[in-house]
Structure 1
Amino acid sequence: MMNQARRVIVWRVTQDCNLDCQFCSYSQSLERIRQNADPAKVLRLGRILNEYSRQTGREVLVSWIGGEPLLWPSLLDVSSRFVHDFGLSVSATTNGVPLRSEKVIERIVDDFAEIVISIDGFGGENDRVRQKPGLFEELKRNVSALCELKEKRGSALIVKVNTILMRNNIDEFGTFCELMRDWGVNELTFNQLGGYDRPEFFPDNRLLVTQVARFIDALPGWKNDFSEAGLRIHGNDAYLKRFQYSCRDEKIPVEDCAPGAWFWFVNENGLISPCSYTSYEYAIDVDAISSPEELDAVEQSFRQMRRDKRSRFCADCHCTQLFDKFA
């Protein structure tokens, strides 16, 4: 498991998006209810996290996701408050389109600890699954401009790319890493395509057993070679085991995930859960927390909820943070 010294809070602040990705449940063309976080609610918890961090000395990273989090109108101003007023670290995962704005990349370089750009393969493959011709070339311009500004200002910002590995892009992973290095990216993480969000897309695009085996064999060499070139590739043996089990349709149950001990997922309604899969089974409203002391009590509340009723997702856990995606 990961080092639990840092408390990580992944907060989905919007369900809005500006792309039409075939694998995502927030694609802009899908008819669905789309909600946004209440800025006042977010700031209220930020103040409590500030007190908690000062009292415990524990670093807190709040990572914004969506949808496309940079479409949430309050994101940059709330992030600034979290960093400069509350002493917290912030991150965001973006599809990279909003990075075309000079103002946006300036605020990110000045305020954020890290920015994660989602890019799923290179060239036509990325554009195909995200259904936006020319997107990859736009991302090249946007990410390069971000990295150049970061260097110019001497910022400690970590520029990270996350890629979803699918049948049509996994065999090009080494070439993809070369491109990310050349763009100035610092770190790279990867997911395997899952089937929960868009089950109609999954069967023809999921990873094959033979592809995963080749990837596992090649990964140590890539990690070593690109580390020397300044690009860190995350993911260890535990994470790769999850890939092997998934491609064979085998389950990995988790009896004790230390729910809420170091990781929270918060949705746009302000409900805290141990992970994104259990948002409505094990949920505590952020408004129920009124003091720093109550933050650590969340773990015991989640443990009791799991004893009372085991989520079906716990019988086959896909929470990437538990399998050391970021190791």
Structure 2
Amino acid sequence: MDSFIHLFKTPGGHYLYDVNKNVILSLSEEQYKILDYYRDSDDTGKCTTSEFSTQAVESIDHLRVLGFLSEKRPKEMYHPLNDTILSHLNNKVKMITLQITKQCNLRCKYCVYSGNYENRDHSNEKMTLETAKKGIDFYIEHSKDNENGLLAFYGGEPLLEFEFIKNCIEYFEERAEGKNIHLNLTTNATLLTEEIVNYFQKHNVHLLISLDGPSEVHNKNRVYGYDDRGTFEKVMENLEMIKTKFSDYLSTNIAFNAVLDPQNEFSCVNNFFVDFEIAKEANIMASEISNLYRKDTVKTSDNYISETQYEYFKIFLSRLGYLDEKYTSKLLLRHYTERKDRYGRLQMRPELPDKIHHGGPCVPGVQRLFMDVGGNFYPCERVSEASPHMKIGNIDAGFDVDKILSLLNVGKISEKKCINCWALMFCNLCAAAADENDGLSMEKKVSRCSYERNSADSILKDICTLREFGAELGEEIHAFDMAE
């Protein structure tokens, strides 16, 4: 068996990622060639080939003496919280999101309720106040260890049920006394009124407003349900009202979410948010149209790829001090923060444990508990409500611990592949990536593995390139330079 490492190069250097140690090592070109030579070799002994200098060979052997280049693989996919899951479910639930209605006044063409997805459709179903109160009580009872209390509202369009929301907020504030209360609501913003904003300001409700860009982009997908008209003008009208009458609320409690259509020009959307005065100081998030549970695949234009790659390059330039940050895209800042965060997690360890789990799964029921209109529990709002495997309990029976453990340990269905994958700690695949609506599929899950490995390789290369140019990514106690 060969060393459990991943070799990669940047324009400025040669590197390896040591999976057991969880560190990046900088190599000389000759050291890199030695490791590349032996990577697929059955010879696991000391380097002796005459093709390389004695000094370089000895440096590789010295790495082995220091504990690097180990061949060890984990023996089992086993989530580290598996044995303490009951404690987390009973005491540490971080938030609850209530799906208060499945109805919406819009018919956004890429929405998960649009009919283009296998897991959801619009309907007239809505949550009863009794169910909502039970959900809030359940959350309070199962979050005793948390100082913060977080309640979120989801739809459909939640503002169709404003009076219902008010009742929930006031009940939550009463029941969560002693906690730091946080209230979030996702909205298309077409139904906002002075009365609603005034109430939200008094109760410190944070709004995430869906806004995809200029009118020609926003109105392409975000249309009314009754006449297919675009909604951009109404959203702008309501934002101007907030700016005029609730300016403090606008600056502190409103964020924007842009859903990027990869068939559009990215620059058009980006330029809009650069010039959009109302959003100058706001937090702006962006996500592409989801392919999760989608009946077809959203295609990405070459122009979109070219433009986003250029924006990533500009963000890196700004972090290196070569470009003013004002010229970078706020929509894509996550590309840099993800790399900085990943760099911070490269903390050296003695070796991989025998039992480990790849990255990706949240702790179902603990991190983003989602309750649908009927009181059924799901790991988050993104999974399929049509999938029995994703239903992790209900408000009357409580958590289904067996299902939660199955989702938590989704790596078991592809264990033989996972334990030999160098990118296992970089993996982002949760159970939703394996969900066929009638069970979890190993084939569906591993079909995403190549993408995950390529993404991990790209992250490592970006990290090392940024470091080569002097970027401050955090503490560097885990970085070692073995280049001769």
TM-score by structure 1 length?
A: 0.71
Which amino acid in 2 is paired with 1:94? T
**Matched-pair contact (CA < 8 Å) for 1:194–1:206:** no
Partners of 2:170 and 2:252 lie apart in 1 by: 14
Q: Which has the larger radius of gyration?
A: 2
Which amino acid in 2 is paired with 1:159? I
| 1:158-190 Cα deviation digits (max 9, x unpaired) | 201000011325222432323444356621111
Q: What is the aligned partner in structure 1 of residue 16 from structure 2?
A: none
Percent identical pairs in the alignment equals 17
Partners of 1:95 and 1:206 lie apart in 2 by: 29
Give the direction of change, closer, same or farther, for the CA distance of 1:299–1:158 in structure 2 (3 Å limit).
farther
Is 2:315 the partner of 1:235? no
The one of 191, 194, 204 equivalent to 1:98 is: 191
Aligned pair count reads 293
Is 2:133 the partner of 1:43? yes
Q: What is the aligned partner in structure 1 of residue 376 from structure 2?
A: 271
What SS class does the counterpart of residue 265 from structure 1 fall into?
strand
Partners of 1:266 and 1:208 lie apart in 2 by: 36
Structure 2, unpaired ranges of 5+: 1-87, 340-357, 414-430, 435-444, 452-484
Which amino acid in 2 is paired with 1:8? M
| 1:63-113 Cα deviation digits (max 9, x unpaired) | 2111111113512321232235534421111011011x2211112222243
Q: What is the aligned partner in structure 2 of residue 161 from structure 1?
A: 256
Written as runs of structure 1 = structure 2, the 5 A alignment for 1:64-213 is: 64-72=153-161, 74-87=164-177, 88-99=181-192, 101-131=193-223, 133=229, 135-151=231-247, 157-166=252-261, 167-183=263-279, 186-196=282-292, 199=295, 202-203=298-299, 208-213=304-309
Partners of 2:378 and 2:303 lie apart in 1 by: 29
Give the direction of change, closer, same or farther, for the CA distance of 1:194–1:219 in structure 2 (3 Å limit).
farther
Partners of 1:142 and 1:44 lie apart in 2 by: 33
Greater helix share, structure number: 1
Partners of 1:68 and 1:257 lie apart in 2 by: 26
**Matched-pair contact (CA < 8 Å) for 2:107–2:114:** yes
Partners of 1:150 and 1:60 lie apart in 2 by: 25
Partners of 1:155 and 1:25 lie apart in 2 by: 28
Which deviates more from structure 2 when the two are superposed, residues 63-72 or residues 32-41?
A: 32-41
**Matched-pair contact (CA < 8 Å) for 1:117–1:160:** yes
Which amino acid in 2 is paired with 1:113? V
Structure 1, unpaired ranges of 5+: 241-252, 319-327
What SS class does the counterpart of residue 96 from structure 2 fall into?
strand
Cα root mean square deviation, aligned: 4.2
Q: Displacement of 1:151 after TM fit? A: 3.4
Give the direction of change, closer, same or farther, for the CA distance of 1:111–1:148 in structure 2 (3 Å limit).
farther
Partners of 1:85 and 1:15 lie apart in 2 by: 26
Partners of 1:201 and 1:102 lie apart in 2 by: 40
| 1:16-51 Cα deviation digits (max 9, x unpaired) | 0111211114359x9754421222111122134335
Q: Displacement of 1:114 after TM fit? A: 0.7
Give the direction of change, closer, same or farther, for the CA distance of 1:176–1:198 in structure 2 (3 Å limit).
farther
Partners of 1:83 and 1:95 lie apart in 2 by: 25
Give the direction of change, closer, same or farther, for the CA distance of 1:285–1:219 in structure 2 (3 Å limit).
farther
Which amino acid in 2 is paired with 1:182? I
Partners of 1:123 and 1:94 lie apart in 2 by: 18
Partners of 2:229 and 2:334 lie apart in 1 by: 30
| 1:121-152 Cα deviation digits (max 9, x unpaired) | 11221112123546222212212322444336
Which deviates more from structure 2 when the two are superposed, residues 124-133 or residues 209-218?
A: 209-218
Is 2:150 the partner of 1:58? no
Q: What is the aligned partner in structure 2 of residue 313 from structure 1?
A: 433
| 1:256-297 Cα deviation digits (max 9, x unpaired) | 4333332222222222222332543132102234xxxx8xxx
Partners of 2:122 and 2:216 lie apart in 1 by: 28
Give the direction of change, closer, same or farther, for the CA distance of 1:214–1:180 in structure 2 (3 Å limit).
same
**Matched-pair contact (CA < 8 Å) for 2:315–2:336:** no
**Matched-pair contact (CA < 8 Å) for 1:161–1:188:** yes
**Matched-pair contact (CA < 8 Å) for 1:16–1:68:** yes
What SS class does the counterpart of residue 369 from structure 2 fall into?
strand
What SS class does the counterpart of residue 72 from structure 1 fall into?
helix
| 1:210-246 Cα deviation digits (max 9, x unpaired) | 3442342244659974699xx8986244769xxxxxx
Q: What is the aligned partner in structure 2 of residue 287 from structure 1?
A: 396
Give the direction of change, closer, same or farther, for the CA distance of 1:56–1:219 in structure 2 (3 Å limit).
same
**Matched-pair contact (CA < 8 Å) for 1:19–1:27:** no
Give the direction of change, closer, same or farther, for the CA distance of 1:169–1:97 in structure 2 (3 Å limit).
farther
Partners of 1:188 and 1:13 lie apart in 2 by: 25
What SS class does the counterpart of residue 56 from structure 1 fall into?
coil
Partners of 2:129 and 2:301 lie apart in 1 by: 37
Q: Displacement of 1:208 after TM fit? A: 4.5
Which amino acid in 1 is paired with 2:394? D
Partners of 1:172 and 1:104 lie apart in 2 by: 32
Written as runs of structure 1 = structure 2, the 5 A alignment for 1:212-231 is: 212-219=308-315, 221=318, 225=325
